[in-house]
Amino acid sequence: MKCAKERAGVPGGGIMMSAIMMQTMGLPLTIVPWVAGIYRLIDMPNTMLNVTGDTIGMVTTSSLLGNLDKEAFNSEKSLKE
Which is more confident, 64 or 13?
64
What's this model's pTM, rounded to 2 decimal places? 0.55
pLDDT digits (tens, 9 = 90+) for 3-24: 455 455 666 777 788 888 888 9
Higher pLDDT, 58 or 80: 58
CA distance 13 to 11: 5
Cα three-residue angle 10-46-38, rounded to 5 degrees: 80
- The residue among 66 and 17 whose pLDDT is bigger is 66
Would the pLDDT of 57 be above 70? yes
Give CA torsion, residues 68, 72, 78, 81, to 10 deg: -120
Helix, strand, coil percentages for the chain (3-state, nearest 5):
70, 0, 30
Dist. CA 1–CA 75, nearest whole Å? 38
